[in-house]
Amino acid sequence: MFKHCVLILAFVIALPSFAVEPDEILDDPILETRARDISANVRCVVCQNEPIDSSNAGVARDLRLLIRERLVAGDSDDQVYDFLVARYGDYVLFKPPWRPSTYLLWLAPFLILGGGIIGMVYALMRKPQNPHAGLNADEQAQLDELIGSNNEGDAT
């Protein structure tokens, strides 16, 4: 029974906690939905790989409030994104735009994968043809004797 309680508690703790506080939620459900959609695509500048919608950082709260203020003022989603990028740079977006300043960001996974494949091919090509090349004459004679004795034992 105790194990079940611990397991349930672990699942409850592991559930994602949404940091949007009740005083942040807009009265207009359409604007609130737009704010949530935008917040899900904006990176917390403190937490780095967490959307501001689920971050408890103070700056994430400020960004959530800022997004809601801009939407209430009549900004479109693109205008809100442009405002955030102008203030924090492309880094604030989970999907930064394709432009010269972000080419490396977009291409880095492919470059790393290609480098890994080239490294593996190079390592396999460098594999020595004769695995016994580093043996001296006495060691080679002992190895030949061992291999010969094993082959004779297999034949009988």
The pLDDT averaged over each successive group of 10 residues in the chain (156 residues) is 58 51 80 92 86 88 93 94 91 86 86 96 79 77 82 57
Complete domains list, the chain, with CATH: 15-94 (1.10.8.640), 101-155 (no CATH)
Residue 85: the pLDDT is 92
**pLDDT at position 9:** 52
- HEC-encoded secondary structure of the chain: CHHHHHHHHHHHHHCCCCCCCHHHCCCCHHHHHHHHHHHHCEECCCCCCCEHHHCCCHHHHHHHHHHHHHHHCCCCHHHHHHHHHHHHCHHHECCCCCCHHHHHHHHHHHHHHHHHHHHHHHHHHCCCCCCCCCCCHHHHHHHHHHHHHHHHHHHC
Residues 6+ positions from 83 with CB-CB distance below 8 Å: 70, 75
State the pTM of this model: 0.59
Residue 145: per-residue pLDDT: 87
